[in-house]
Structure 1
């Protein structure tokens, strides 16, 4: 069953960049953006890598791509002809049973004719001890049996050939019915790959009018490789030569590259390449190292140094004695 009812755009393969392993394909599609901004771009191969899909809008357009993903649509092959195939199988089964019945009756008739033998009459009392044998009758019976068996065997050969033809047609019809059945394997299901693209910037009142938007899709495919071949042509009396470079491209991506721009790259498409991190480089005279600061980090356990003092200060104070108060009010040791 086909999934999705979005607007479909046909795509054309525009260019291919073949790497050491794999290729990067570019497709172009054009159309009017619908009001919901969702379109399906058809024509992608089954080998397209879903993680490598990239989409962008060409030209100075206000429409931009917000989402792009690859979807696979499946549809059973010949699902509408299953009833006709079933009727054909049933008809051929009946024809095969009829042919087998005719062949069986013909074999029974052959056995019956082959069993014909001359039987002499029973001997009577008044018959002489030695009777003459009618040789002519025996020969006529033998000729009749041979002629009859020749015709019956010829008819049997025709019935055998007809039975083989009907059995072959029945096997072909049963195979077609098994392929068209929904209970068959997935190899008998027609699959198509498309890219679902969501576009933003469409006017709220409807579609994009008569403005046609051109969309570019880029995706990677495996199964492509190219091999270089070098040819150097030079003469002994000449001081220069001619170096010719040729490339042999082989691909099994499921796409037709006839008439498509092809470029070659020596890099590996599947190898991740990131920008290197460059270290800082200072140019100029060397500067003296800055003087160390006087501030230092406090030592570990500094907060626990005053724990006993804080606990002592939180205890309640005791009342002083009278003598102690008088002594406190007396003169100081220096006489003041």
Structure 2
């Protein structure tokens, strides 16, 4: 079956005053229709850059290269800016980290949803208003008729995130990218937001990418994972593959650094070292200087080792997961 999203060997560099930042190198993954995939890893690992590359939102300082970057049959590498702008908000959409700052501060939230409906679904003004009120009700915002006229600063962080979900789903897209959608929210509100995303995605059989550093959160909501470190996808597989048969040393350390339901604070372990400077010449394996299992073979080109039909690791020494 043809995947909805097909990314092969995506690399992104940024030109800066201090040199070229090699943010992504040969990132590859596919996303099936109706599937939810987690992009997980530390801050700075390249998760958001990957998403912004798919959405064509990286700006003029970025140099984007790939063998293939196709979404819904559209070649995102060769499509014009106008063609991509027509796709955004209609066939693919994104929930950003900070909902309050992503919303227009001087326009009522309901009108922002109505704008999307008028542009992407060609609704007349009155119908768009009623549909926007219905969208607010669908994400369980109380008194949606009154809240239609509210500004972002009048709403809590959780309410702003619900508005972002309503915006994202308004045009019934095929692909949703949720970039750390629960950042800054309390645990109860996090669960409400994630349940809303899962419910709406399931109802519409929409493909979803969940970007998070929280493996526990991803395990609850994702069918599959891609684990990223310093611009590389180091391991990918089903949730069972990652949690029961993790093969990359970084994945093992990431799991030990993640709180679980029964974890004590003393059970958590920080990942040693730090991400490499992406402006410098880098070894084939960008984790090698943090890895307790590195060997002379790690100086060779990074392999993609298939372990199961659904499970792949980029490591010369697979199964060396820290205990």
Same fold (TM over 0.5): no
Q: Which has the higher helix share?
A: 2
Q: What's the TM-score, normalizing by structure 2?
A: 0.21
Q: Which has the higher strand share?
A: 1
Larger radius of gyration: 1
Greater length-normalized contact order (CA 8 Å, ≥ 6 residues apart): 1
Q: What's the TM-score, normalizing by structure 1?
A: 0.20
